[in-house]
Amino acid sequence: MQREEILRWLRTDDPARQADGWRRADEVRRAHVGDAVHVRGLVEWSNHCRRACLYCGIRAERADLARYRLTDDEVLACARRAVGLGYGSLVLQAGEDPALTRARVAAVVRRIKRETPLAVTLSLGERDDADTAAWREAGADRYLLRFETSDRALYARLHPAWGAAPSDRPAQLRRLRAQGYEIGGGMMVGLPGQTFETLADDLLLCRALDLDMIGVGPYLPDPHTPLGVDPTAFSAPGADAPKADARTTLTVLALARLLCPDANLPSTTALGVVDPDTGRADGLASGANVVMPNLTPAGVRALYAIYPAKASWRETAEAADATLAALLAASGRTMGHGPGGRGGGSD
């Protein structure tokens, strides 16, 4: 698919044409990765973050948010719960937290790999190559690092530099791949300053990087962040601006499936926030084949406040699992078993 065709699809507001795109993605999803929905248990390890990304609710400058960090034993308990619920993989996510040292993360990964059959995905931000190499060595299978936007000027405005290291996430994703990880990237839909052209380029970048996983969610303005307070402070509002709504997100998701037919695509929590009733089910019907139920202990879950009104804040892992079972049944899909790597397994 060429850029012009992607742009035509993104720009259309004809409901029939939009639905046609979602349906085509659903067919391509079925043909390439089947009906199994792979379940990744999400563990939000720490909400400490050294970065100051202008849209993110756990940015370092936010003073009113209590900070937490799970102990290693708490993370292991989440892993065992994932096994108990029949999940095949675990995502360990955190802000960019220097207290999650190379040695500490490596030790936790080693324990999970020794004590469970889970595939382990890390999502710990932009860390040194020596860190990610050590974690790979310890047994981590995948690394998630959304590039957020392919527009370098917009990226630079939204991501103040940290230290001297330049931030180039596409380059880092390529290095992670060379270290032997399956790699996941992705972007937000409807970021202030984004255009349809940006989104088309985001999609083409997913293809150029040959991503194994692509996370796509709507941008959710957070009043505790500079961008949430004043979206126009950083970019002039464009006439050609995609909406941060469910329909646009579904179209981007569908296009990701058409461009990257074998990739693992989650129906994201953020999609469930903009459309609490049917967002996640619609995602599964528009190209997605992955869901990521939250296994973070309920007591701290609300503190992992990357955006407001995150769905199921108060749900226990068991309640979330019941919701998940209902979602799969209603969607006519089955739960995948095993690690669910790219192109991995027929179930």
Site membership for ligand 5AD, residue 196 (CB under 6 A): no
Cβ nearer to ligand 5AD, comparing 268 with 289: 268
- Of the listed pieces 13-21, 35-43, 215-223, 317-325, which binds ligand 5AD according to CB under 6 A? 215-223
Q: Answer yes or no: are the C-beta atoms of 220 and 308 closer than 8 Å.
A: yes
Tracing tokens 């006519």 back to the chain, one arrives at 332
Site membership for ligand 5AD, residue 270 (CB under 6 A): yes
Q: Which of residues 289-328 bind ligand 5AD (CB under 6 A)?
A: 306-307
Cβ nearer to ligand 5AD, comparing 158 with 285: 158
Site membership for ligand 5AD, residue 219 (CB under 6 A): yes
Site membership for ligand 5AD, residue 220 (CB under 6 A): yes
- To ligand 5AD, the closest distance from the beta carbon of 56 in angstroms equals 4
- Of the listed pieces 24-32, 219-227, 247-255, 310-318, which binds ligand 5AD according to CB under 6 A? 219-227
- To ligand 5AD, the closest distance from the beta carbon of 107 in angstroms equals 24
- To ligand 5AD, the closest distance from the beta carbon of 219 in angstroms equals 5
Burial label for 232, CB within 10 Å (0-12, 13-18, 19+), is: exposed
- To ligand 5AD, the closest distance from the beta carbon of 307 in angstroms equals 4
Q: Answer yes or no: are the C-beta atoms of 283 and 29 closer than 8 Å.
A: no
Which residues, in sequence order, are CB contacts of 329 under 8 Å at separation 6+? none
Q: What DSSP string describes 226-252?
A: HHHH-TTTTSPPPTTPPP-SHHHHHHH
CA proximity to 203, closest of 155, 145, 251:
251
Cβ nearer to ligand 5AD, comparing 136 with 146: 146
Question: Quick one: which of 217, 242, 287, 336 contacts ligand 5AD (CB under 6 A)?
Answer: 217
Cβ nearer to ligand 5AD, comparing 185 with 339: 185
Cβ nearer to ligand 5AD, comparing 41 with 217: 217
Cβ nearer to ligand 5AD, comparing 149 with 331: 149
Site membership for ligand 5AD, residue 94 (CB under 6 A): no
Q: Answer yes or no: are the C-beta atoms of 308 and 336 closer than 8 Å.
A: no
Q: Answer yes or no: are the C-beta atoms of 101 and 46 closer than 8 Å.
A: no
- Of the listed pieces 22-30, 149-157, 216-224, 334-342, which binds ligand 5AD according to CB under 6 A? 216-224
CA distance 115 to 117: 7
Site membership for ligand 5AD, residue 122 (CB under 6 A): no
Site membership for ligand 5AD, residue 147 (CB under 6 A): no
DSSP code, position 27? H
Q: Answer yes or no: are the C-beta atoms of 91 and 40 closer than 8 Å.
A: yes
CA distance 201 to 182: 22
CA angle at 125 for the pair 156 and 57, rounded to the nearest 5°: 70
CA distance 264 to 168: 23
3-state secondary structure of 344: coil
Q: Which of residues 38-67 bind ligand 5AD (CB under 6 A)?
A: 55-56
Q: Answer yes or no: are the C-beta atoms of 264 and 213 closer than 8 Å.
A: yes
- To ligand 5AD, the closest distance from the beta carbon of 215 in angstroms equals 7
Q: Answer yes or no: are the C-beta atoms of 146 and 187 closer than 8 Å.
A: yes
Cβ nearer to ligand 5AD, comparing 272 with 336: 272
Residues that bind ligand 5AD (CB under 6 A): 55-56, 146, 148, 188, 217, 219-220, 222, 270, 306-307
